[in-house]
Amino acid sequence: MATVRRKSGTVRIVSWNVNGLRACAKKGFRAWLGRSRAEIVGVQEVRALPDQLPDTVREPRGFHSYFAPAERLGYSGVGLFARRPADRVDASLGEPRFDAEGRLQIARFGRLVVVNGYFPKGSGNERDNSRVPYKLDFYRALFDRVQRLRRGGARVLVMGDLNTAHREVDLARPKQNTANSGFLPEEREELDRWMDAGWVDTFRHFEPAGGHYSWWSQRFGMRARNVGWRIDYVLASPAAMRYVRGAFIQPDVKGSDHCPVGVDLDPAIF
């Protein structure tokens, strides 16, 4: 597994949709975590209760771990691994329809707040767009929450699988996907609203070019041909962005249909 060299004098924060942490553990997750040189790692789509995970993943040496599973077994769920203990971790948006799906952790580390989210897909069981209203409601509820954190003086990073490609440059085949959830106008407009409010797409801040993706269909050799979508992000509030020194995607890291994304930060952010 290739890695991106961490900038000297910085701390690294990484997000990865692992597409089932137990499965990813069998493909080298613990070894990757150890050499990631990350201070904080957020994972999405854990799809397991904490006691179903191997001990080396549930409580990896050198890390504090926090999990927010879904009520439905084998579904959704998020987790955080941090080399320093969090001051507080909240896993609730205050709405049962969201909280039951285990999609969120809001962790405070000093002045820094890390929001680890697995945003809903808009596609339903029938491969339609029936879950788009739920997805957009989640976006809006979280937006209100993080805006309050900003007003309270926190330096906020929102990271995770946002399940939306924002611009045409963020997916390999935009014209073929304008009617599919993940690239619908109303989903993209919701991300526009975040950017208009001052949130910064950290990767795009440093890299305007196309061809950089974080998810590939597991069919037809899409990953080998780099026919993908960039749907995993680290968004920074203006107060946090002042401390961001670099952003990256790690497409060579295998173990999931997604790859890790992250940022390098000035340690003063804490």
Rounded Cα distance between 79 and 49, Å, is: 10
Q: How confident is the model at residue 1 (pLDDT cuts 50, 70, 90)?
A: very low
Has residue 127 got a pLDDT over 80?
no
- Residue 141 tokens read as 């509820």
**Alpha carbon 252 to chain centroid, angstroms:** 17
Has residue 2 got a pLDDT over 60?
no
Has residue 4 got a pLDDT over 90?
no
Residue 80: strand pairing partners? 42, 66
99-120 burial, b if ≥16 CB within 10 A, otherwise e? bebbbbbbbbbeebbbbbbbbb
In this structure, is the dihedral angle defined by the CA atoms of residues 34, 40, 44 and 47, taken in order, positive or negative? positive
Q: How confident is the model at residue 7 (pLDDT cuts 50, 70, 90)?
A: confident
Q: pLDDT tens digit string along 73-99?
A: 999 999 999 999 999 999 999 999 999
Rounded Cα distance between 139 and 120, Å, is: 9
| Vertex 265 angle, CA 36 and 229, to 5° | 65
Has residue 6 got a pLDDT over 90?
no
Which residue segments constitute the domains of the chain, with CATH numbers given?
A: 11-269 (3.60.10.10)
Residue matched to tokens 């039951």: 100
Tell me which residue of 78, 29, 73, 71 sits closest to 54, measured CA to CA.
Answer: 29
Q: pLDDT tens digit string along 134-144?
A: 999 999 999 99
Q: How confident is the model at residue 65 (pLDDT cuts 50, 70, 90)?
A: very high
| Catalytically annotated residues | 161
What is the mean predicted confidence (pLDDT) over 31-38? 97
Q: How far is CA 254 from CA 19, 29, 34, 84, in A?
A: 11, 9, 15, 26
